[in-house]
């Protein structure tokens, strides 16, 4: 996440939605940019407000993504780290030899089908709706952009903060584009629809 007290602004970083790009874009321009002590960068809004209740009065923003495309992007990151590790890249080897989430996923799920069908059952992080990151029973993000309209929504976010317009939005930590519809069997497709029903209803996503 990213907090600016001067701008009374909180950005909630949902995994695989472009949050690394937004952080890299905004943090250098917000002199007081900070995180919330004790929380990971992917903390949910309820966790953030539990740690710092006053942030509920700030302008809150986040980005969401088509759930099927998001899971494919997540798996593509795992594959990328595997390939780099096999090529001898020290950073990737370090990640995959550890006890972190990425290492566990890479070891336990041999392919994308297992990642979707078993992973969403066994790993709470993989089945948490994006809406759960961006809302609580009493508060919801004021601005929810979409990865599908990323450039336009980043421009809107920058304008809301009163920052200079961005000539070209970079792509940090991005996987190579793939059509998610080619990667899912009917059973996998239906599993995602079940797990992320809240996102599909809230944001109107379709396969």
Does residue 85 lie in a domain region? Answer: yes
143 and 197 inside one domain: no
pLDDT in tens, 94-108: 888 888 888 899 999
Q: At what angle do helices 67-86 and 90-97 cross, to 10 degrees?
A: 110
Q: Domain for residue 167, yes or no?
A: no
For residue 137, what are the contacts with CB-CB under 8 A and spacing of at least 6? none
Q: Are residues 6 and 49 in the same domain?
A: yes
Q: Look at residue 179 and tell me whether its pLDDT is greater than 90.
A: no
Size (the chain), residues: 207
State the pLDDT confidence band at 175, using cuts at 50, 70 and 90: low
Residue 172 lies in a domain: no
Q: What is the pLDDT of residue 5?
A: 98
> Do 17 and 33 reside in the same domain of the chain?
yes
Residue 178: DSSP 8-state: -
Q: Assess whether 118 and 143 both reside in one domain.
A: no
Contact 77, 71 (CB under 8 A): no
Residue 59 falls inside a structural domain = yes
User: Do residues 94 and 190 both lie within one domain?
Assistant: yes
How many C-beta atoms lie closer than 10 Å to residue 105's C-beta?
Answer: 22
Same domain, 38 and 49: yes
| pLDDT score of 172 more than 70 | no
Tally of domains in the chain: 2
The pTM score is: 0.92
Task: Quote the domain boundaries for residue 91.
Answer: 67-127+177-203
> Does a structural domain hold residue 53?
yes
**Torsion (CA) 113, 115, 118, 119 in degrees, nearest 10:** -160
Q: Are 152 and 74 found together in one domain? A: no
- Could you tell me if 13 and 104 lie in one domain? no
What is the per-residue pLDDT for 94? Answer: 86
Tell me which long-range contacts 173-176 makes (C-beta under 8 A, separation of at least 24). Answer: 173/20, 173/21, 174/18, 174/21, 175/73, 175/76, 175/77, 175/80, 176/76
Domain match, 75 and 117 both: yes
134, 56: one domain: yes
Looking at per-residue pLDDT, the higher value among 177 and 38 belongs to 38
95, 112: one domain = yes
Q: What angle do CA 43, 47, 52 make, to 5 degrees?
A: 110
> Within this chain, do residues 144 and 156 fall inside the same structural domain, yes or no?
yes
| pLDDT above 80 (res 170) | no
Mean pLDDT score of the chain, rounded to an integer? Answer: 94
pLDDT band at 174 (very low <50, low <70, confident <90, very high): low
* Residue at 82 is within a domain: yes
Determine which of 111-115, 138-142, 173-177 has the lowest per-residue pLDDT on average: 173-177
With 70 as the cut, is the pLDDT of residue 148 above it?
yes
Query: Once rounded to an integer, what is the mean pLDDT over residues 33-45?
Result: 97
């Amino acid at each position: 996440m990213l907090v600016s007290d001067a701008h009374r602004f909180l950005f909630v970083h949902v995994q695989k939605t472009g949050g690394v790009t937004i952080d890299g874009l905004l943090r250098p321009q917000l002199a007081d940019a900070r995180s919330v002590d004790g929380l990971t960068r992917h903390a949910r809004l309820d966790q953030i407000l539990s740690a710092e209740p006053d942030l509920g009065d700030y302008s809150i923003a986040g980005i969401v993504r088509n759930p099927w495309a998001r899971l494919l992007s997540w798996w593509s990151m795992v594959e990328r780290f595997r390939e780099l590790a096999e090529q001898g890249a020290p950073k990737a080897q370090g990640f995959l030899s550890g006890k972190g989430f990425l290492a566990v996923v890479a070891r336990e799920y041999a392919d994308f089908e297992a990642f979707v069908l078993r992973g969403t059952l066994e790993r709470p992080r993989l089945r948490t709706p994006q809406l759960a990151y961006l809302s609580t029973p009493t508060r919801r993000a004021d601005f929810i952009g979409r990865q599908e309209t990323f450039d336009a929504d980043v421009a809107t976010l920058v304008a809301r903060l009163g920052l200079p317009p961005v000539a070209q939005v970079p792509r940090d930590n991005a996987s190579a584009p793939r059509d998610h519809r080619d990667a899912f069997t009917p059973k996998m497709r239906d599993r995602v629809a079940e797990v992320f029903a809240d996102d599909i209803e809230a944001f109107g996503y379709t396969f």
